[in-house]
Chain A
């Protein structure tokens, strides 16, 4: 199982949970487990063709999966997957 860190904007879709345990051998499978459990997250993570949306950054531990093998990047037990959309708030 991997731990998925949920950004604040997605927490309403995960019942407010900031972290969710999800199974999968690679990043794509872990995210699919997440969307399976919390279907409302699907449309915000994946485009219609099933690809990860460009505006969502995904990290395996501290590394961007774009420089690894993308959704194919393998995940070990205890790894952390961080979902990170851009934030623009300046506190105005």
Chain B
């Protein structure tokens, strides 16, 4: 819409204290004529956002009554004056622009709705998140307060850690007992050549802290076992499973069901990956999907079989996406769904996964097992003798 705003036109301008009196008196439509990121940082209570470029399209929704008293404000009073002139041309009869804008409003000690729980640096850093209605300031604050444990700081853990750290997940724990090896660097993007030989948890800490000082990194330089798992994972909200062996995957499943803790689980091999999200008692658990691990010859490891480096990135970032959705409570996590990705054909396949009523861990008649039994299955010892730990 072309409107000649240079044409001499009389608009009413009022001081912030006058606007405040009118607003307190009620029956005022209050319009914020700034951009979304400015609105997110701070706005007047009750102010409806109509950015200047969208005025023609959105004003009728925000201010349907053209005879109602309407007050416009922006940062310093210029954009709201232009918008007031445009609205008069559109037939609005009783429009005023607040001079000095929200800057002068705040200088006079008048209240605003501010982005709580975030520093000015954080508002800048996460502005592309807070612009999204599904995230917003509330979602970002949830991310900053979330505690996520990554099981493995290797192929899957590296890209997951990278994006969760960038997203501002406040606490990231890392479980790994390995050191960085040259053969890791084709896919484990948070480690680097200089840090070969360094424990992976320490290398990950250096990377994450350089990327985002908001993130607290907790190193668990060791392996999970039945004796330590409840204590370690109990401090977290969500666990991300990128473990390289079946005993750890079953152990994590049994402990996470006990603690009712969601697990985002992925695995990769060659050009193939799979991912699902297990939310105990809401959807199936890992044992509902895989009641029994395969024998060793059907369970090769990446170190024996090879893996395309970018597969780790694809599946690891899908894991990060699941984690973020669980934290902010948006979208549809992969609960009860197994997503397969085959990179050579660039093909995604989604399969349904049902809760198993006879599941020994989360089924209707499942009894709580002693901690010493967690992670075990009938032929556990035989399995471990053959394939346990693909080191």
Contact = CB atoms under 8 A, between A and B. Distances in A.
Contacts of B290: 55, 57, 86
Given A63-B352, A67-B354, A87 B154 contact: no
B243 A88 contact: yes
Q: Of residues A9, A82, A85, A92, which shows the largest number of chain B Cβ atoms within 10 Å of its Cβ?
A: A92
Interface string B245-264: 11001000000000000000
A36 interface: no
A91 B269 CA distance: 7
Interface in B165-214: 178, 184, 187-188
A25 interface: no
Interface in A49-91: 54-57, 59, 62-64, 67, 82, 84-91
A39 interface: no
Contacts of B390: 88, 92
B363 to A, nearest CB: 14
Contacts of A82: 340, 349, 351
B289 interface: yes
Interface in B251-302: 267-272, 274, 289-295, 297-302
Contact of B291 (A54, A87, A91): A54
Contacts of B291: 54-55
A64 B196 CA distance: 44
A91 B294 contact: no
A88 to B, nearest CB: 5
B353 interface: yes
A59 B351 CA distance: 8
Contact of B300 (A9, A55, A67, A91): A9
A28 B164 CA distance: 44
A33 interface: no
A91 B188 contact: yes
Contacts of B178: 92
A66 B303 CA distance: 32
B35 interface: no
B155 interface: yes
B152 interface: yes
A84 B245 CA distance: 17
Contact of A64 (B295, B299, B353): B353
Contacts of B224: none
Interface string A27-58: 00000000000000000100000000011110
A24 interface: no
Contacts of B187: 91
B294 A92 contact: no
A9 B344 CA distance: 15
Given A62-B352, A90-B243, A91-B156, A55 B268 contact: no
Contacts of A92: 152, 154-155, 178, 184, 244, 301-303, 390
Given A54-B292, A55-B290, A89-B307, A8 B271 contact: yes
A12 B315 CA distance: 24
Interface of A: 5, 7-10, 18, 44, 54-57, 59, 62-64, 67, 82, 84-92
18 contacts: A7-B272, A8-B269, A10-B298, A44-B298, A55-B290, A55-B294, A55-B298, A57-B290, A62-B350, A62-B351, A82-B349, A86-B293, A89-B305, A90-B151, A91-B187, A91-B242, A91-B311, A92-B303
Given A89-B269, A90-B155, A90-B243, 7 more contacts: A8-B269, A9-B300, A55-B292, A64-B353, A87-B299, A88-B249, A89-B301
